[in-house]
């Protein structure tokens, strides 16, 4: 599908369709936190659900039948996971029921990943590390396996006893960012923590009176995860300190409909701190050149993370589509001679690395380069 199938329903005057469209957009968009992509079949199924032709239960049954007839060809193909988790997220976000408890948080994991992960709804019993691109391969220090439940209970207790009375909106967002980052840092599950945290947090925000009907989560899920990483990482020898500034920027767009640029490259620890910590520098002075001509020397070598062949393909694309020119999977296939799957994989890598940004209003799956070296 070249056009975003949800936009007409986001603008629909019927509240039920708008809410379902938001739920589906968010569910599908959140798969990007684990580098997953949904199928066209899921999009068609989602539209039928939004129109009221089928229920969520029927949508899940259709997906189950579809993958029984079309099983993944390889172990690495996680499209089935992306599709099934997307519909489950959409269903949960469409439900009004919610309780602010650790049990609710754990049950969301079970509901999202039952039949997908053997450990669905179970706390991990081993310690973990995860190499992060934004940390140059370093890992956040996650919660100790022996203290997961105690830490989770403590964070919930602290938030439950916190009062937002008398706080300014800036203070509220700062506090919410802190709670969100601490909840995520525990990482109580083996996999799926970011998606569970996002769903739980959205439902919690609604109990606080926030109406979430924009596409911030859908379009910026990878930024959301990287912001959580930066909120939980210190390397004092290198002058790197944990900060919620990026997460607060995301929340301001989400809750206040502000328009701070959410660009993954600015979250990289090698990015100039002065540039990264100024949320409006790109919107206030979009056409002004940096005063120091060698400022690029302080920026990370983003091409270094790619294999030589991939880096070569990216350079060809950058030559074919200079800054500002819009392209999609079809154009990538033509320029590089790749098959559809290869083009999609390359586009996913470009988005995750922050080299391209999604372009709105041009149909789904359209991008442009935002960083040149």
Do both 113 and 246 map to the same domain? yes
Other CB atoms within a 10 A radius of the CB of residue 11 amount to 10
Q: What six digits make up the tokens of 76?
A: 């690495």
Give the side-chain half-sphere CA count within 13 A for 263: 22
**Quick check: is 268 in a domain?**
yes
Do both 233 and 125 map to the same domain? yes
Residue 317's CATH number: 1.10.10.10
Do both 37 and 167 map to the same domain? no
Do both 125 and 267 map to the same domain? yes
Residue 60, SS3? helix
**DSSP symbols for 64-121:** HHHHHHS--SSTT--HHHHHHHHHHHHHHHH------SHHHHHHHHHHHHTTT-TTTT
The pLDDT, as a whole number, for residue 64 is 97
Tens-digit pLDDT string for the chain (373 aa): 445 665 555 555 455 888 999 999 999 999 999 989 999 999 999 999 999 999 999 999 999 999 999 998 887 889 999 999 999 999 999 999 999 999 999 999 999 999 999 999 999 999 999 999 999 999 999 999 999 999 999 999 999 999 999 999 999 999 999 999 999 999 999 999 999 999 999 999 999 999 887 789 999 999 999 999 999 999 999 999 999 999 999 999 999 999 999 999 999 998 865 555 554 433 333 333 333 333 333 344 555 566 777 878 888 888 788 767 888 898 898 888 888 888 888 888 888 777 888 887 777 788 888 754 4
Q: Which residues contact 312 (CB under 8 A, 6 or more apart)?
A: none
Do both 66 and 140 map to the same domain? no
The pLDDT, as a whole number, for residue 281 is 36
The pLDDT, as a whole number, for residue 372 is 43
**Quick check: is 296 in a domain?**
no
Residue 116's CATH number: 1.10.3290.10
The pLDDT, as a whole number, for residue 28 is 96
**Quick check: is 257 in a domain?**
yes
Per-residue pLDDT tens for 224-244?
999 999 999 999 999 999 999
Do both 115 and 27 map to the same domain? no
**Quick check: is 294 in a domain?**
no
Residue among 103, 109, 194 at smallest CA distance from 152: 103
Number of domains in the chain: 3
Gyration radius from the chain CA atoms:
21
**Quick check: is 150 in a domain?**
yes
Do both 111 and 212 map to the same domain? yes
Do both 171 and 277 map to the same domain? yes
Do both 6 and 121 map to the same domain? no
**Quick check: is 295 in a domain?**
no
The pLDDT, as a whole number, for residue 303 is 56
Q: Using the 3D structure, point to which of 95, 119, 139 is the last residue of a domain.
A: 95
Q: Using the 3D structure, point to which of 255, 289, 323 is the last residue of a domain.
A: 289
**Quick check: is 207 in a domain?**
yes
Q: Using the 3D structure, point to which of 289, 312, 329 is the last residue of a domain.
A: 289
Do both 284 and 305 map to the same domain? no
Q: Which domain holds residue 30?
A: 1-95
Quote the CA–CA distance of 37 and 35 in Å, as a whole number: 7
Do both 279 and 174 map to the same domain? yes
pTM above 0.85, yes or no: no
**Quick check: is 116 in a domain?**
yes
Do both 237 and 223 map to the same domain? yes
């Amino acid at each position: 599908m070249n056009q975003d199938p949800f936009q007409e329903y986001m603008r629909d005057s019927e509240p039920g369709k708008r809410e379902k469209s938001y739920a589906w957009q968010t569910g599908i968009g959140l798969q990007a936190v684990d580098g997953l992509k949904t199928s066209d079949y899921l999009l068609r199924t989602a539209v039928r659900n939004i129109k009221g032709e089928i229920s969520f239960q029927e949508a899940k049954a259709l997906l189950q039948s579809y993958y029984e007839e079309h099983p993944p060809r390889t172990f690495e193909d996680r499209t089935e996971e992306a599709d099934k988790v997307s519909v489950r997220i959409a269903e949960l976000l469409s439900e009004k029921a919610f309780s602010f408890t650790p049990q609710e948080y754990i049950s969301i994991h079970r509901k999202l990943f039952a039949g997908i992960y053997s450990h669905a709804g179970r706390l991990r019993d081993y310690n973990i590390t995860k190499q992060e691109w934004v940390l140059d391969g370093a890992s956040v220090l996650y919660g100790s396996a022996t203290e997961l439940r105690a830490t989770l209970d403590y964070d919930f207790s602290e938030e439950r006893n916190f009062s937002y009375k008398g706080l300014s909106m800036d203070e509220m967002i700062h506090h919410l960012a802190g709670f969100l980052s601490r909840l995520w840092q525990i990482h109580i599950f083996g996999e799926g923590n970011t998606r569970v945290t996002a769903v739980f947090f959205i439902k919690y925000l609604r109990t606080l009176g926030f109406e979430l009907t924009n596409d911030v989560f859908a379009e910026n899920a990878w930024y959301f995860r990287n912001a959580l990483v930066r909120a939980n990482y210190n390397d004092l020898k290198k002058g790197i300190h944990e900060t919620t500034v990026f997460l607060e920027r995301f929340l301001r767009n989400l809750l206040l409909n502000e328009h701070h640029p959410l660009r993954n490259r600015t979250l990289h620890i090698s990015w100039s701190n002065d540039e990264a910590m100024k949320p409006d520098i790109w919107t206030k002075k979009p056409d002004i050149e940096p005063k120091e001509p060698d400022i690029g020397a302080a920026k990370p070598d983003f091409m270094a993370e790619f294999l030589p062949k991939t880096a070569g393909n990216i350079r060809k694309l950058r030559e074919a589509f200079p800054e500002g020119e819009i392209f999609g999977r079809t154009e990538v296939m033509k320029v590089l001679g790749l098959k559809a799957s290869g083009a999609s994989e390359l586009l996913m890598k470009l988005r995750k690395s922050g080299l391209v940004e999604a372009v709105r209003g041009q149909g789904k799956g359209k991008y442009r380069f935002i960083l040149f070296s």
